[in-house]
A and B are shown apart, each in its own frame.
Chain A
Amino acid sequence: MEKIAIEGSPKTPTINFDTDKGFLEIKGRSIPENSIEFYKPLVDSLEKYAGKPQSVTNVNIQLEYFNTSSSKCILDVFKKLEAIHKGGSAVTINWHYEEDDEDMLEAGEDYQAIINVPFKMIQME
């Protein structure tokens, strides 16, 4: 299955999706003006992956900043993961936040309240 490796930029995050290992990571900053375009390849790839997922899917989210335009797209990504979780792959979303960054922790909790997938809140030093 096709893998995704997108290098980060000042406004967009690094994305690695290894479909063989069932591992997805999004890290860095996500503050593009038009985020739908940016997230489309990942959303499409998750759609395909949902047809034949690994038994376990680990997701690492480690964002320093994200804007509200990205927050919608991240929700779309999580909705795909929710479907994959329902379909039998054990999905875990590891939501990283820096110590003292209450806003980022709260953002993770917002998603946790909407999405039916186990979340782990991981504080970084």
Chain B
Amino acid sequence: MLDIYDFYNRMERNNIMLSFKGDITSELLTSILQIMESKLDNMQEEPKIKKKVYNVLVESLQNLYHHMDEQQATDNNNHIRAAIFMIGKVDGQYNIITGNYIQNPNVSGLKTKLDHINTLSKEELKDYYKQVLDNGMMSEKGGGGLGMIDIARKTGQKLNYNFMPVDDMLSFFTLNIKIAQS
């Protein structure tokens, strides 16, 4: 049986403010964002940091949401639609962690994209963002491939990610985003 106390202690050590595992719906995102906004208000976080954290939260959660949507369209297997999300604050630094299944054939495309973003300087990221904004294709749902570029720009840090092979079909993708205090 799952050791809840162990689970609790791990979350406590990592100062997890909110975590969720399951299906990502539009209503859920609305609730998570409302909860996090009032938490940030209660912590009297400076407006600049609060906005950055909120913005990055929106992008990372909506990445999960759009990804779920694609999965749903191509696969009826329920468990692969679920995702995990956590936000914590350790040593003044916010950590946003997301995890979701990805189909193996899609791994190399995403990896190439993330690696490319990670090679770019601040100015190059700005140019790349404008280029994708102006010329990039917009998916039907409105995702324009800008989310990861935006996260890299707003955090000023490299995208820290991992793909863990699960089986012949799937890998588990995790993204660990850090937002420094200033």
Please indicate which of the listed interface residues B33, B54, B66, B142 has the most CB atoms of chain A within 10 Å of its own CB: B142
Q: Is the interface of A mostly helix, strand, loop or mixed?
A: helix
A98 engages B47 (CB within 8 Å):
yes
Is residue B146 within 8 Å, beta carbon to beta carbon, of the partner chain? yes
B48 engages A100 (CB within 8 Å):
yes
Complex interface: chain B residues within 8 A of A34 (CB): 141-142
Instruction: Tell me which of B33, B51, B62, B133 contacts A71 (CB under 8 A).
Output: B133
Is residue A6 within 8 Å, beta carbon to beta carbon, of the partner chain? no
Complex interface: chain A residues within 8 A of B133 (CB): 71-72, 75, 110, 114
If A33-B65, A69-B142 touch, does A113 touch B130 (CB 8 Å cutoff)? yes
Min CB–CB distance B54 → chain A (angstroms):
6
Is residue A36 within 8 Å, beta carbon to beta carbon, of the partner chain? yes
Interface residues on chain A, size class: 20 to 34
B144 engages A65 (CB within 8 Å):
no
Instruction: Tell me which of A67, A73, A102, A103 contacts B62 (CB under 8 A).
Output: A67
Min CB–CB distance A82 → chain B (angstroms):
12
Is residue A106 within 8 Å, beta carbon to beta carbon, of the partner chain? yes
User: Which residue of chain B is the closest to A103 with respect to CB atoms?
Assistant: B154
B138 engages A36 (CB within 8 Å):
yes
Instruction: Tell me which of B48, B58, B134 contacts A67 (CB under 8 A).
Output: B58
If A34-B142, A100-B48, A114-B133 touch, does A10 touch B29 (CB 8 Å cutoff)? no
A65 engages B48 (CB within 8 Å):
no
Is residue A7 within 8 Å, beta carbon to beta carbon, of the partner chain? no
Contact with B along A18-49 (1 / 0, CB 8 A): 00000000000001111111000000000000
Complex interface: chain A residues within 8 A of B48 (CB): 100-102
Min CB–CB distance A53 → chain B (angstroms):
24
Min CB–CB distance A62 → chain B (angstroms):
14
Chain B residues with CB under 8 Å of chain A are: 26, 29-30, 33-34, 47-48, 51-52, 54-55, 58-59, 62, 65-66, 126, 129-130, 133-134, 136, 138, 140-144, 146-147, 149-150, 154
Question: Can you report 28 residue pairs joining A to B where beta carbons are below 8 Å apart?
Answer: A10-B33, A32-B142, A33-B29, A33-B142, A35-B142, A36-B142, A37-B142, A67-B55, A67-B58, A68-B59, A68-B143, A68-B149, A69-B62, A69-B142, A71-B133, A71-B144, A71-B146, A72-B133, A72-B138, A72-B146, A75-B134, A100-B48, A101-B48, A103-B154, A110-B126, A110-B130, A113-B130, A114-B130
| Further pairs besides A31-B33, A101-B48: 17, Cβ < 8 Å | A32-B142, A33-B29, A33-B141, A36-B140, A64-B51, A68-B59, A68-B149, A69-B62, A71-B146, A72-B138, A72-B144, A75-B134, A98-B47, A104-B51, A106-B126, A110-B130, A114-B133
